[in-house]
Amino acid sequence: MAHQELLAFFIFAVTAAVTPGPSNVLVMTAGARSGIVGGLKCLFGVVAGMAMMMGTAVTGLGSVITTIPSLLVALKWIGSAFLLWLAWKVATAPPMRSQLGEETIGFWKSMAFQWINPKSWIVSASAAASYGSAVQGTVFIRALSIASTFAIAATMACAVWLVFGVALKQWLGDEKNSRVFNMFMGILLAASVVMIHL
């Protein structure tokens, strides 16, 4: 990938990864409950899942999904239904005071979560279509270049959400604040689902 194209993709990747979405809500919640160290497992799981999805999209899955519109629609609706259920669970969760410091969603679950996250599918398919052919070399080299560049960008972007969650940790010790936070996170997660379908 030429330097200009790599920079363009990096900017795309940071923008796509930092905008509000289901994965960032998970990372922020992990930071609020478990702090930086505890939240890193969730963050790295999100990054690994998205990087793998990016690489897979470049190898051909992205073109399959974009050429069969009904498949993308089905994935969006199945993923959206799950995310709305998750939004309800987050919004109605008990106050965090009793859960602060507890284990949150870990590496493997947050990595697997990317494969049902509609935003992840849309971003990956778009990236593969827009930037996949700009990379020189074999399919493996192209997939590795896109995936590793996205991993670096997503780590930086998700770290912002993790730190924001950690900053809220003390505030969430109050039961009322915790309930407000849970409700807000549930609404934000549901809103991200609505935005995917606009």
Range of the domain at 60: 3-196
Question: pTM here?
Answer: 0.76
Q: pLDDT (tens digit, 9 = 90+) per residue, 128-182? A: 777 766 667 777 888 888 899 999 999 999 999 999 988 888 787 778 887 888 7
Q: Please report which residue ranges of 98-174 form alpha helices under DSSP H.
A: 107-113, 118-131, 139-167
Q: pLDDT (tens digit, 9 = 90+) per residue, 79-101? A: 677 778 777 877 787 766 544 44
* Spatial CA neighbour of 63 closest among 142, 148, 151, 152: 142
> Mutual orientation of helices 69-91 and 175-196 as an angle, nearest 10°?
170
